[in-house]
């Protein structure tokens, strides 16, 4: 953790009264939460609840209508470049390039993140060994399965060893075994000190998070550990918690 994050009292993310409006529509309605350094934080909500809108603001890709957002100890509105250097981002939509090889993708994103060629080579070897993908180094990415692509995309999103990685529906459309392996990667990253901010529609994955927030129509309707949320909602599973909050009737 650097000095700015220490000044923020160890919080990786701090959101105060965040509001985002599109015309008269309020997509994020006074969000308040913080995420501790090294935490795995699940950001859940039905389609259109406002998750991606909030993530874009946290990453400095979109400006809030009002409120204050601090990421890695920096005010995102004032220091977007400092923030961008300290975060990784992966979404289901934008991943790697199918017409480049596995290694070319790693080299491209390593260069975008400002890593030297020697560091890229070293981390690439490490990454390919960890993923058991060494043999596929020179294969076109487009020939790999979606599961492999997503596992590689995650590794690439943390290639520059960011403080925080934002994962927007990273396991969408991926089979259960690959999802499990993907979560092992997430745990490994968290063990290495990376804060993980993840959205998912798979409620079993919410159980793997240390804390979970559930958004309903732009507001945070609940935020706690999965265990506490189940107790509060007298629910057997996160699925039940989610359904009770998002479909109260
Ligand atoms: P999903 O799970 O489907 O990805 P989400 O929780 O990420 O949903 P957002 O993409 O944040 O939801 O969208 C929240 C609401 O804000 C939606 O009703 C969406 O139509 C609206 N919205 C998002 N971006 C814009 C925009 N640029 N202009 C107008 N409305 C927008």
| Residue 87 pLDDT exceeds 60 | yes
Average pLDDT over residues 165-187: 92
Residue 44 beta carbon below 6 angstroms from any ligand 1 atom: no
Q: Please report the pLDDT score of residue 174 as a whole number.
A: 87
Q: Please report the pLDDT score of residue 247 as a whole number.
A: 82
Taking only the tens place, the pLDDT of each residue in 58-69 is: 999 899 999 999
Bigger pLDDT: 2 vs 193: 193
Instruction: Supply the residue whose CA is at minimum distance from atom 11 of ligand 1.
Output: 50
Residue 63 beta carbon below 6 angstroms from any ligand 1 atom: no
Instruction: Supply the residue whose CA is at minimum distance from atom 17 of ligand 1.
Output: 48
| Residue 1 pLDDT exceeds 90 | no
Q: Please report the pLDDT score of residue 4 as a whole number.
A: 47
Bigger pLDDT: 142 vs 3: 142
Please, which pLDDT band fits residue 95 given cuts at 50, 70 and 90? Answer: confident
Q: What span, in angstroms and rounded, lies between the C-alpha atoms of 244 and 68?
A: 30
Average pLDDT over residues 91-99: 82
Residue 213 beta carbon below 6 angstroms from any ligand 1 atom: no
Q: Please report the pLDDT score of residue 10 as a whole number.
A: 73
Q: Please report the pLDDT score of residue 39 as a whole number.
A: 95
| Residue 14 pLDDT exceeds 60 | yes
Angle at 94 (CA atoms; ends 92, 99), nearest 5 degrees: 120
| Residue 9 pLDDT exceeds 60 | no
> What's the burial of 110, exposed, middle or buried (CB within 10 Å: 0-12/13-18/19+)?
buried
Whole-number Cα distances in Å, 77 to 5, 27, 50, 213: 16, 19, 19, 23
Q: What span, in angstroms and rounded, lies between the C-alpha atoms of 45 and 56?
A: 16
In 51-175, where does DSSP find H-type helix? 51-58, 80-85, 102-112, 117-131, 146-157
Q: Considering the chain, what percentage of its residues have pLDDT values greater than 90?
A: 81
Question: pTM for the complete prediction?
Answer: 0.92
Whole-number Cα distances in Å, 206 to 78, 90, 197, 199: 32, 18, 12, 9
Average pLDDT over residues 117-126: 96
Q: What span, in angstroms and rounded, lies between the C-alpha atoms of 226 and 213?
A: 9
Instruction: Supply the residue whose CA is at minimum distance from atom 28 of ligand 1.
Output: 22
Instruction: Supply the residue whose CA is at minimum distance from atom 21 of ligand 1.
Output: 27
Residue 27 beta carbon below 6 angstroms from any ligand 1 atom: yes
Question: Do 102 and 128 meet the contact criterion of CB atoms below 8 Å apart?
Answer: yes
Cβ partners under 8 Å of residue 222, min gap 6:
212, 213, 214, 229, 232, 233, 241, 245
Mean pLDDT of the chain: 91
Average pLDDT over residues 160-189: 92
Taking only the tens place, the pLDDT of each residue in 37-58 is: 999 999 999 889 999 999 999 9
| Residue 21 pLDDT exceeds 50 | yes
Bridge partners, 219 (sequence order): 216
Question: Do 42 and 213 meet the contact criterion of CB atoms below 8 Å apart?
Answer: yes
Please, which pLDDT band fits residue 5 given cuts at 50, 70 and 90? Answer: very low
């Amino acid at each position: 953790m650097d000095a700015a994050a220490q000044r923020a009292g160890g919080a990786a993310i701090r959101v105060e009264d965040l509001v985002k409006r599109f015309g008269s529509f309020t997509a994020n309605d006074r969000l308040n939460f913080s995420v501790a350094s090294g935490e795995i934080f699940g950001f859940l909500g039905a389609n259109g609840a406002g998750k991606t809108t909030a993530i874009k603001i946290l990453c400095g890709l979109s400006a809030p209508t009002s409120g204050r957002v601090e990421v890695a100890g920096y005010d995102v509105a004032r220091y977007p470049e400092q923030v961008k250097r300290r975060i990784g981002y992966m979404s289901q939509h934008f991943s790697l390039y199918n017409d480049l090889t596995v290694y070319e993708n790693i080299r491209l994103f390593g260069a975008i993140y400002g890593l030297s060629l020697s560091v890229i080579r070293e981390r690439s070897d490490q990454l390919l060994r960890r993923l058991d993908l060494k043999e596929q180094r020179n294969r076109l990415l487009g020939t790999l399965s979606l599961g492999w692509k997503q596992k590689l995309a995650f590794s690439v999103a943390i290639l520059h060893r960011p403080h925080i990685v934002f994962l927007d529906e990273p396991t969408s459309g991926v089979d259960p075994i690959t999802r499990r392996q993907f979560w092992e990667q997430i745990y490994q990253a968290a063990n290495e000190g990376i804060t993980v901010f993840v959205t998912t529609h798979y409620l079993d994955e919410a159980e793997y998070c240390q804390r979970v927030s559930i958004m309903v129509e732009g507001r945070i309707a609940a935020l706690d550990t999965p265990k506490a949320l189940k107790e509060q909602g007298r629910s057997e599973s996160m699925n039940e918690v989610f359904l009770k909050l998002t479909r109260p009737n």
